[in-house]
Structure 1
């Protein structure tokens, strides 16, 4: 199937399917549904030399026509975050047609990290597929030629040297490029036909009550990032999403853009202070330093009337380097004492969190190299944070 055919089939199919669901279920079966339906906002279509990949991204309270983004990846392993070379086998081998729904795929070490660092994720785990995986590479999946694979609300947790990349897939489908368009269309229809009537493919139903109220908050006004934060500063984003970040990471306090001057007496290349996007303080007294690799407006420039949008040529490597720099600050007692005096926080060995856009891919080679060269870190996309937030409120 040519890439242009892949775009055409998906655009027509998902537009018809999701529109039909939104016009029928919420009205005709409102009392039977466990709660409101959430819909995707973006359709990402990825072309590799051998595979076509569909992923539905974003979380919206109402159906809107899906926007389409086309991109290329070097391989299907690069897209799904697995290394090309490995000494041990992957967690899951996909020999023919495979389907995963409401599940978690990770290695044993990834499962351990998930349990200790993200307690709110327990209700998301569902069916567990846990294996040894490739030691040090975090490889989860091995695709075989000619197969179809669907990941319907699946949590993928990649681990390397205690660092993790967490990605919750609303829906992802991989199809070998040798498959014809008509066969792919039939496959999509079979997935829709086999899904429960009150749990249609490509949607997420959340329980009524507190979670339903959460959906009415500012953070869910427009959760597809490129629309929701076009004119938002870092400070405004944190104000709107404070409850999301607190609940997703089991934290009790969020310090917005702390300005921490160096107090250790060492030379720091004319830098007078560090200014991370946020620091989370958790109930157990530990802390998380966070960096937002999102297209926000810089707070300082906006207050001066100069709107400059953040731009990242290499979001992941640059973000991890920035986090390592922030970590360095807290390695001396003078700096830690200053942070305590100014913000009332006693930071020691903080976790490092990089928040990226939901449609961003993380190159597995960059991830593995960074995991070997620095202390542990966490990369989580925004959709996954929203999903952790909803899980914590359930």
Structure 2
């Protein structure tokens, strides 16, 4: 089956299904057993060189369609392990995974899969792991690679409400999966149709979170966010799209009642050297005094061991971060010109005064708080926040107000 055909059919199936389920809920025709439903709002479809994956992402109370994102990944094992594309093998080169899939229509639900994991360490960074009651922790050979492997007879599977605890040496990453449908790329269209006819025809609702208490909702959203920014090679735009579709993450983490996402502001006045026609900052966040601060979103920079470089006295950011800082300064300059400031106020109601400049980049893996402080000594008014800290600010804000 061609990838384009897979995308078309998956999109059509899910849009029809979730629209039907949401209508059923509104009409009171679903037995919720005291639960609240949270619907996905992003459909990430990935070509993994021999495998096609459709993963449902997001958690909102009202279904309002799916934003389809297309991604290309060189290996199904890098997709699942979040680190690299090596097959799951032990020290003696034998296949070493928690689950081995070698058939058609396999269904894995409500399970955590890990290998030699220290869950005290895992929970500190990934609080959403508390949502999973059953975790299979493989404690045999040390091994490496994905906790799921595939045999030559594999055709299709559904992984639903599962967490994969991935490890590389002393680093951990958790992949929280609401629902991921994996197919061999050589599978014919009819097999896909038959698979979904079987999976979605039962009485149990599929591809939707069910929660019982308020903090659980925050943990679900936080887990989905961590899944997004720890996704190998995923674009900044997809991270931004998730935050836009889950505005409570920004409002709670940064303590604001209002923000503007990607406002488009024309350069009406400058010093004559500007070649751009407009600025398009990721976020303008309203402060308690009514003025706005400027935020820019990069990625977690997973391929970088550290977002700083040099010894203490010469500590500085790597180029990737420097570019983000330079962009923030450029945005700040825009508002120093009267015509630009008036334009921003008229179009969006935005006013800027002594703005805080904030760059969201990196993670706990590559962002040492001490080194970041040292690297930003030559900047004034610029803050660096990594994605794990951002995620914990969101969860912590909700805890303190519950």
**TM > 0.5 fold call:** yes
Q: What is the CA–CA distance in structure 1 between the aligned matches of 2:164 and 2:393, rounded to whole Å?
A: 13
8 Å contact from structure 2 (residues 2, 185) kept in 1? yes
Q: What is the CA–CA distance in structure 2 between the aligned matches of 1:186 and 1:158, rounded to whole Å?
A: 32
Q: Which residue of 1 aligns with 2:254?
A: 239
CA shift, 1:118, in A, is 4.9
SS at the partner of 2:53?
strand
CA shift in 2, pair 1:149/1:299, >3 Å: farther
Q: What is the CA–CA distance in structure 2 between the aligned matches of 1:235 and 1:300, rounded to whole Å?
A: 23
8 Å contact from structure 2 (residues 50, 184) kept in 1? yes
Kindly indicate whether residue 137 of structure 2 is the aligned counterpart of residue 130 of structure 1: yes
8 Å contact from structure 1 (residues 210, 393) kept in 2? no
8 Å contact from structure 1 (residues 105, 156) kept in 2? yes
Q: Which residue of 2 aligns with 1:13?
A: 13
Deviations 1:293-328 (A, max 9, x none): x9xx9599559738999999xx7xx6578514x344
Deviations 1:145-191 (A, max 9, x none): 33312111111110122211112111101110121111111101211
Stretches of structure 1 that go unaligned for 5 or more consecutive residues are: 243-255, 258-264, 275-290, 336-352, 356-378
Q: Which residue of 2 aligns with 1:108?
A: 116
CA shift, 1:131, in A, is 1.0
SS at the partner of 2:90?
coil
Deviations 1:203-238 (A, max 9, x none): 11221x5459979x9xx9xx9853465699x98673
Deviations 1:266-310 (A, max 9, x none): 5225x6xx9xxxxxxxxxxxxxxxx9xx9xx95995597389999
Q: Which residue of 2 aligns with 1:268?
A: 314
Q: What is the CA–CA distance in structure 2 between the aligned matches of 1:381 and 1:138, rounded to whole Å?
A: 28
Kindly indicate whether residue 104 of structure 2 is the aligned counterpart of residue 93 of structure 1: no
Kindly indicate whether residue 367 of structure 2 is the aligned counterpart of residue 323 of structure 1: yes
8 Å contact from structure 1 (residues 136, 160) kept in 2? no
8 Å contact from structure 1 (residues 110, 158) kept in 2? no
Residue pairs, 1:1-394, within 5 angstroms: 1-29=1-29, 32-81=32-81, 83-85=85-87, 86-88=89-91, 89-97=96-104, 98-111=106-119, 113-115=121-123, 118=126, 121-122=129-130, 124-132=131-139, 135=142, 137-145=144-152, 146-194=154-202, 197=203, 199-207=204-212, 210-211=214-215, 225-227=239-241, 229=243, 238-240=253-255, 267-268=313-314, 298=328, 301-302=331-332, 305=335, 323-324=367-368, 326-328=369-371, 355=387
CA shift, 1:121, in A, is 2.8
Q: What is the CA–CA distance in structure 2 between the aligned matches of 1:321 and 1:128, rounded to whole Å?
A: 24
Kindly tell me the number of residue pairs found equivalent between the two proteins: 292
Q: What is the CA–CA distance in structure 2 between the aligned matches of 1:266 and 1:53, rounded to whole Å?
A: 44
Q: What is the CA–CA distance in structure 2 between the aligned matches of 1:134 and 1:70, rounded to whole Å?
A: 36
Stretches of structure 2 that go unaligned for 5 or more consecutive residues are: 229-237, 258-292, 295-310, 337-351, 378-384
Q: What is the CA–CA distance in structure 1 between the aligned matches of 2:207 and 2:399, rounded to whole Å?
A: 18
Q: What is the CA–CA distance in structure 1 between the aligned matches of 2:218 and 2:48, rounded to whole Å?
A: 38
Q: What is the CA–CA distance in structure 1 between the aligned matches of 2:181 and 2:205, rounded to whole Å?
A: 16
Q: What is the CA–CA distance in structure 1 between the aligned matches of 2:132 and 2:193, rounded to whole Å?
A: 30
Q: What is the CA–CA distance in structure 2 between the aligned matches of 1:389 and 1:126, rounded to whole Å?
A: 25
Q: Which residue of 2 aligns with 1:278?
A: none
Bigger Rg, which one: 2
8 Å contact from structure 1 (residues 229, 237) kept in 2? no
Q: What is the CA–CA distance in structure 1 between the aligned matches of 2:395 and 2:21, rounded to whole Å?
A: 21
SS at the partner of 1:189?
helix
Structure 1 length-normalised TM: 0.59
Q: Which residue of 2 aligns with 1:366?
A: none
The CA RMSD over aligned residues, in Å, is 5.0
CA shift in 2, pair 1:12/1:390, >3 Å: farther
